[in-house]
Structure 1
């Protein structure tokens, strides 16, 4: 999985190689001949209750689809059937009740992770930092569901989950060409963002929620999407959002520690990943001198990363041997990697290299999404990690739990295949006609400028090497906005990984932080 072209590697922001899953240019069977169910909105309604931190909440659940149309919203041109699960708290004035639109990333991932792991009324139990045993899995009341603070709408990306692209031509060859056009239109930064913005405005109309406080919650590539969608909603649809909640953020792909060796001359990713390397070495007891507490230690590492380390990397071939040796010895103190290895790597260790080498004495590889996890290296002699032990440890539990829950409790999808990822052959990273690395910081900045009341909550895990927390912090502090608008941004860091909620103590903190953020920004008079 590691040895992919950089453009594909960057697409794999959540749980696997969605972009390279299938190279055959063939329309999936369940999209080849769309049934009436795909062309018209569907809905299955059920009821339930959840106890959130001791308080019982009764809710109505709707599992259904909304059909999107072309850019001109022509009714005879359906493009995507987007699946969602919405939870509405009973006995509340919907005009005042906040509503939060929630999605994972990928790009092209279903939203099973946030649904079954973070904020839905039921939560699947997985091991904290090791492989979860095979079925039967345990599905329990979610004490940390966000339903106490907001109504919730979990959205599957086009082509993922039960969402499907639509080609309605009657002729088979024309239908295949139409499907190619759909993929080209939707599977990209701009097309994906437009689809989600269109879904949200249609949802607001269908359920009469235009006057509700509105929030976006995106994880991983979902944060990239949130910047685009927030800007689209604010400046194309006149929808002022109350808040945007970001989890495991990546807005500028030039900060990614996946494959920076393929982009020589840009050393920033190595610097921004260093605190995560240090946290991981701390967790696995690989530091030569273990500090008493993690957070003060990370602050020290951050100063070194953007100070002496950044200056050494900037020197390039001008860095003399004595200085290189000194920096390598300091890196050894912060990462646990051998000095000789660090010098051989020219002081530049990619995420995959670190994951493979930290536990090399036991032939184990750390996780990428959550470096607390570890598993047997597929090839002990490889340069980089070749899989993600964290993803392998918990994915089966999430997929099995949701497939059971959606059919038995939500009464949806009995004859359908639930896709973990969309069948994406190529993702269009071009954004606003710019061919370079994706950078949506200007989008979020524009949304903040045109709506100066918009509040942002950034969340991240110390053990996340897919989207390192210090990279997210760096991005946010380099937003092109006036200094006063930076007061609209708040931060929360957790002793967990990419999927912060996979660690129960962090899930509680995440819930409390997000619920407090919504209460402070929903503009509801109490």
Structure 2
């Protein structure tokens, strides 16, 4: 009996010792096999074209292509559409410029079909509504193709760009996530086109300037650098506190005042020799007596209040009674409605030259922004017609001119502060790349990204001022909608590129 018990006890031990290979084989067979990376065929089209830009005849290839971004395992995760215009014959020493718009959530249609692409949509230049189609699509002599090849990038969720399969948009919708995907797209494009040693420029408009700052950090902030020759900032927003007028933030009233002044001048509510002169007077008042008054809060004297109120009325075109009721702090939203209330009109946010008519005249804020609904139809029609019909890009997707990319993660990597300012990325890049220069273009009539806010952001300590140049235009956020300013902007940037 004892021998039987011992034998029974020993049997399973013997089996376990005798068959480790068999057990391992069974375990391996039970494991799911690693899935092969899913296949994805990038959509693309190309067309040979010719045009005259900056007075020079240029043959070029226009290519619309999905740049497929993959994870470390080779699985396709996102398709970012680039539209490239490359001069022929190709020259690897020729500059290449990567451009995008803002939002976040905006496609590159605005800069591409409005300013720098070889074709542009013609909309009224005098701040009038663009009406209904057909909209003329014209050759654009102001395109930069005579001095640089051009690559327009639509980040995920904009234009025709999208995630692939079960990829999560949260991996792309955020300040750092977005910058990484755009930087990866640039690296990929450089490799595919043999352009690693070309002079390089990057740039954007509006939130696209925010993206430019975060992308330069991704390109030059580590050890695997992509060195850049220039950053082009159009309608700049880097320090998000600089233009904000939430309760308790006095800085926004300071940085918006010069734009209120130029707007009042444009609409005949103020008097001065020129927008540039009036803007400078307003700057000095805003940063001097007005800033001192605001910072004193309720400790400001009655005499100071009266003096500031009188000057504020002169610069804004608003009555002293209204200013007093607003406690000498007028937000842009209230200004849009109040400036031309006596005419039954509102002024635009993106471009305060534009005027609109609300349902009634008693509200505190406008119903909508006339400087946006005055142009959006023309651009949407133009980009779809050009991409689909002229270039032959075939897709069932809708082109997203401006769409929702929410929730957007505004948290800088490694930071928990609610203060959101990406300008230091540019300061760092300037200090660490002695050839890097920055172009800043601002419209006098832009409340979305006021020019004084851009100046404030880029004149803090740590920014080499000899390599930052400011240019100003007699229009608003999208200064290129005005014909004279599109030509001036193009000439200014063309010179900036040539000076590399």
Please say whether Structure 1 and Structure 2 have the same fold, judged by a TM-score greater than 0.5. Answer: yes
Distance 1:493 1:294 in 2: 10
How far residue 281 of structure 1 moved from its aligned partner, in angstroms, is 0.6
Deviations 1:418-456 (A, max 9, x none): 112343231111112234132101211221122122111
Other structure's SS at 2:202 match? strand
Separation in structure 2 between the aligned mates of residue 313 and residue 467 of structure 1, nearest angstrom:
21
C-alpha separation in 2, matches of 1:102 and 1:196: 10
Q: TM-score scaled by structure 1?
A: 0.85
Aligned mates of 1:299, 1:119 — CA distance in 2 = 30
Match of 1:217, SS state, is strand
What secondary structure does 1:253 align onto? Answer: coil
Change (3 A) 1:378 1:75: farther
1:415 deviation in Å?
2.5
Alpha-carbon separation, structure 2, partners of 1:157 and 1:381:
41
TM-score (norm 2): 0.89
1:387 aligned to which of 368, 388, 391 = 368
Assess, with a 3 A threshold, how the Cα gap between structure 1 residues 163 and 38 changes in structure 2: closer, same or farther. farther
Deviation at 1:479, TM superposition (A): 4.9
Give SS of 1:415's match: coil
Map 1:151-162 to 2 at 5 A: 151-162=149-160
Name which of 105, 110, 114 aligns with 1:117: 114
Instruction: Quote the Cα distance in structure 2 between the aligned partners of 1:486 and 1:378.
Output: 47
Q: After superposition, where does 1:320-359 map in structure 2 within 5 Å? A: 320-359=301-340
2:269 aligned with 1:283: no
Report which stretch shifted further, 117-126 or 317-326: 317-326
From 90, 104, 107, the counterpart of 2:88: 90
2:78 aligns with one of 80, 86, 91:
80
Match of 1:230 in 2: 216
In 2, Cα distance between equivalents of 1:61 and 1:479? 42
CA contact (8 A) 2:131 2:377 kept: no
Q: Give the distance between the partners of 2:60 and 2:207, measured in 1 at CA.
A: 29
For the 8 Å contact 1:119–1:145, the answer to whether it is kept is yes
Cα separation, 1, equivalents of 2:73 and 2:237: 34
Uncovered stretches (5+) of structure 1, i.e. residues with no partner: 1-35, 169-174, 522-526
Measure the CA separation in 2 of the matches of 1:444 and 1:69: 28
Residue deviations 1:370-414, cap 9 Å, x none?
110011124522222331101000010000011111111111134
2:179 alignment partner in structure 1: 193
Which position in structure 2 is the counterpart of 1:272? Answer: 255
User: Are 1:498 and 2:477 matched, yes or no?
Assistant: yes
Equivalent in the alignment of 2:342:
361
The equivalent residue for 1:163 is: 161
Specify the SS of the correspondent of 1:106. Answer: coil
Q: 2:97 aligns with which of 100, 103, 121?
A: 100
Write the distance in 2 (CA, Å) between the matches of 1:215 and 1:382: 45
Superimposed CA distance per residue, residues 356-379 of structure 1 (whole angstroms, 9 cap, x where no aligned partner): 111111221111111100111245
8 Å contact 2:354–2:370 — kept in the other structure? yes
Conservation of the 8 A alpha-carbon contact between 2:54 and 2:146: no
Change (3 A) 1:263 1:195: farther
Deviation at 1:130, TM superposition (A): 1.1
C-alpha distance in 1 between matches for 2:427 and 2:73: 31
Match of 2:459 in 1: 477
Contact kept in structure 2, 1:441 and 1:480, CA below 8 Å: no
> For the Cα contact (< 8 Å) 2:441–2:471, is it kept in 1?
yes
Q: 1:89 to 1:490 in 2, by over 3 A?
A: same
Q: Which residue of 2 aligns with 1:434?
A: 416
The answer on 1:251 being equivalent to 2:202 is: no
Residue 211 (1) aligns with residue 193 (2):
no
Count matched residues: 461
Pick which of 213-222 and 354-363 moved more: 354-363
- Aligned partner of 1:420 in structure 2 is 401
The 1:250–1:154 alpha-carbon spacing in structure 2 relative to 1, beyond 3 Å, is same
Matched, 1:404 2:385: yes
Distance 2:147 2:282 in 1: 36
Structure 1 467/479 Cα, relative in aligned 2: closer, same or farther at 3 Å?
farther
Q: Residue 466 of structure 1 corresponds to which residue in structure 2? A: 448
Matched, 1:512 2:491: yes
CA distance in 2, matches of 1:238, 1:300: 43
**Shift in Å at residue 79 of structure 1?**
2.2
User: Aligned partners of 2:121 and 2:80: how far apart in 1?
Assistant: 24
Query: Retained in 2: the 8 A contact 1:159–1:421?
Result: no
The corresponding residue for 2:25 is: none
Give how far 1:92 is off.
4.3
State which structure, 1 or 2, has the greater radius of gyration over its C-alpha atoms. 2
Are the equivalent residues in 1 in contact too, given 2:261–2:282 (CA < 8 A)?
Answer: yes
Say which SS state the counterpart of residue 39 (structure 1) adopts.
Answer: coil
CA 1:250–1:315 in structure 2 vs 1: closer, same or farther (change >3 Å)? same
- Structure 2 distance, partners of 1:164, 1:412, is 16
2:5 maps to which residue? none
Decide whether the 8 Å contact of 2:264 with 2:316 is kept in 1.
yes
Q: CA deviation at 1:460?
A: 0.6
Deviations 1:261-283 (A, max 9, x none): x341x211111111110000111
Task: Quote the residue 1:23 is aligned against.
Answer: none
* 2:430 alignment partner in structure 1: 448
| Alpha-carbon distance in 1 for matches of 2:394, 2:349 | 32
Question: Quick check: 2:242–2:456 contact (8 Å CA) kept in 1?
Answer: no
